[in-house]
Amino acid sequence: MEMFLPAARAQPERLHSAPDVSVIIPTFNERENVGKLVSHLIATLHGLNWEVIFVDDDSADRTVEVLRDIGHYEPRIRCIRRVGRRGLAGACIEGILSAQGEIVAVMDADLQHDHRLLPDLVAAIRDGNDLAIATRYSSPRQETALSPFRSAMSRIGTYLAQRLITARTTDPMSGFFATRRDLVEAMAPRLSNGGFKILFDILSNAEPDVRIAELPYRFATRSAGHSKMDRRVALQFLGLLFTKATRGLVSLRLVSFFLIGAAGLGLHMALLILVLVAGVNFAAAQAIATLITMVVNFSGNNLLTYHDQQLRGRSFFRGLLVYVAICGIGAVVNVGIATALFTVAGPWWVAGLAGAFVSGLWNYLVTQTLVWNR
Ligand code: GDD
Ligand code: MN
């Protein structure tokens, strides 16, 4: 092996030239659509030096198998298979970061995006634009293939999103656009992986003077299969808006963690009364109520706050132990701060709230890195 390496290095000659345009396509259960899409793409991209990267989140319908077969015939098409992770935005980012082309385009696999627009999107980047966005809303009354409800939600979302970013575009939530790879690479550590809104996230991280070209098209109806846009995705988007609106200070996770904490307080008091009534002494009753509340809070956070990185099986129990230890320290901090404030003559409720708030923040920040840290 070693003998061959230097020889190989001595021949810098390339067998084929590296692509300069990479098309990134996230897939989740698109087995029925990818074949047709690929044949369209091969025709449309003719004349460009291209590659296509599918990023599949381990689809149950085994989209990957179809893509592998395609890759046998057409090596410019490959597939990244991610296991144990979900998310349109994260899949796109991973695809972009592994691309060869200096120009990257992102599009859906379900034939809702008009592939014939790709050469124009690429040309717009070559002309010096940072972003070329295929827009569904170039005119206010443009018809789309969305249901009336989805259409209304999409327009409200578009309106909110436009208020939060300085960059001007009619469709900040388009899933169909092209850009320069280096632009995304530079902001990659700040992009969020969950949810659908990859373009919105790129726009809000871009420089204010980012150059944008818009290309109108008609959003078609889905070819086969169904949309993965659901309440969870919508919630993730709201979370992203919320985080942006508070300049990253308050995230939806933090709010969720504190709401569960507040509900836990109610549960704790109810349990305490129950156990006391059952005749257990106060110290033991308080300990029992605390432990049960911690287990319930942990499960609640695991289910809701960290829905996207849920711990299961053995890691659930390991996580629970670490969580209890961290919140134990939190409780000591809580009592310490409250007592100190109370002694310095704050009103009892201010002292109590301050203690609870600081310990809540401690619990949130430390469990975020030590319990749910994937
Ligand atoms: N890898 C991966 N992981 N791909 C995903 C995931 C995921 O978790 N969820 C969805 N996809 C893929 C789908 O397979 C499809 O190719 C593409 O992402 C878009 O998903 P759809 O489920 O078809 O989304 P949509 O049509 O409802 O939403 C479209 O419009 C939105 C704006 O209203 C998309 O273009 C979105 O990008 C866009 O934000
Ligand atoms: Mn779709």
Q: What is the pLDDT along the chain (374 residues), one digit of tens a residue?
A: 445 555 555 555 556 678 999 999 999 999 999 999 999 999 999 989 999 999 999 999 999 999 999 999 999 999 999 998 888 999 999 999 999 999 999 999 999 999 999 999 999 999 999 999 999 887 665 556 677 887 888 888 888 888 888 888 889 889 999 999 999 999 999 888 777 789 999 998 999 899 999 999 988 888 888 888 777 777 777 777 887 788 777 887 888 899 999 999 999 999 999 999 999 888 899 889 989 999 999 999 999 888 878 899 999 999 999 999 999 999 898 888 888 888 887 788 888 888 888 999 999 999 999 999 76
Domain housing 178: 21-138+156-226
203 and 71, same structural domain? yes
Is residue 78 one of the residues assigned to a domain? Answer: yes
313 and 214, same structural domain? no
Per-residue model confidence as pLDDT tens digits over 59-95: 999 999 999 999 999 999 999 999 988 889 999 999 9
222 and 258, same structural domain? no
Distance from residue 169's CA to the centre of ligand 1 (Å)? 20
Mutate which of 40, 142, 196 for ligand 1 pocket (most atoms within 8 A of beta carbon): 196
196 and 67, same structural domain? yes
Task: Count the domains in the chain.
Answer: 2
Distance CA 189, CA 72 (A): 34
190 and 105, same structural domain? yes
Report whether residue 90 contacts ligand 1, using a CB cutoff of 6 Å.
Answer: no
Structure tokens at 133: 């966005």
Which residue has its alpha carbon closest to ligand 1 atom 24? 227
Is residue 151 one of the residues assigned to a domain? Answer: no
Is residue 237 one of the residues assigned to a domain? Answer: no
Is residue 147 one of the residues assigned to a domain? Answer: no
First-to-last alpha carbon distance for the chain, in angstroms, is 37
80 and 208, same structural domain? yes
Is residue 15 one of the residues assigned to a domain? Answer: no
Q: Which atom of ligand 1 is nearest to the CA of 228?
A: 22
Distance CA 373, CA 365 (A): 11
**Does the pTM exceed 0.90?**
no
347 and 221, same structural domain? no
338 and 206, same structural domain? no
Distance CA 154, CA 149 (A): 8
Quick check: 181 and 103 in contact, CB under 8 A? yes
194 and 320, same structural domain? no
Question: Please, how many CA atoms are within 13 Å of residue 164, restricted to the half-sphere of its CB?
Answer: 25
Closest CA to 245 of 174, 172, 161, 368: 161
Report whether residue 55 contacts ligand 1, using a CB cutoff of 6 Å.
Answer: yes
Quick check: 28 and 226 in contact, CB under 8 A? no
Is residue 150 one of the residues assigned to a domain? Answer: no
Report whether residue 237 contacts ligand 1, using a CB cutoff of 6 Å.
Answer: no
Structure tokens at 43: 């025709």
Report whether residue 198 contacts ligand 1, using a CB cutoff of 6 Å.
Answer: no
**Which CATH number is 207's domain given?**
3.90.550.10
349 and 264, same structural domain? yes
DSSP for 107-140? --SSS-S-GGGHHHHHHHHHTT-SEEEEES-SST
Report whether residue 228 contacts ligand 1, using a CB cutoff of 6 Å.
Answer: yes
Q: What is the pLDDT of residue 277?
A: 92
Report whether residue 95 contacts ligand 1, using a CB cutoff of 6 Å.
Answer: no
Q: Which ligand is nearest to the CA of 54?
A: 1
Amino acid symbol at 60: A
Which residue, of 211, 226, 241, is where some domain finishes?
Answer: 226
278 and 165, same structural domain? no
Is residue 6 one of the residues assigned to a domain? Answer: no
**Residue length of the chain:** 374
Burial class (CB in 10 A: 0-12, 13-18, 19+), 331: middle
Distance CA 268, CA 289 (A): 5
Quick check: 125 and 102 in contact, CB under 8 A? no
Which residue has its alpha carbon closest to ligand 1 atom 17? 108
Is residue 232 one of the residues assigned to a domain? Answer: no
Structure tokens at 117: 């627009």
Distance from residue 233's CA to the centre of ligand 2 (Å)? 13
Q: Return the bridge partners of 77, or none.
A: 52
319 and 285, same structural domain? yes
DSSP for 266-294? HHHHHHHHHHHHTT--HHHHHHHHHHHHH
Mutate which of 88, 93, 151 for ligand 1 pocket (most atoms within 8 A of beta carbon): 88
Which residue has its alpha carbon closest to ligand 1 atom 37? 175
Q: Which ligand is nearest to the CA of 88?
A: 1
Report whether residue 94 contacts ligand 1, using a CB cutoff of 6 Å.
Answer: no
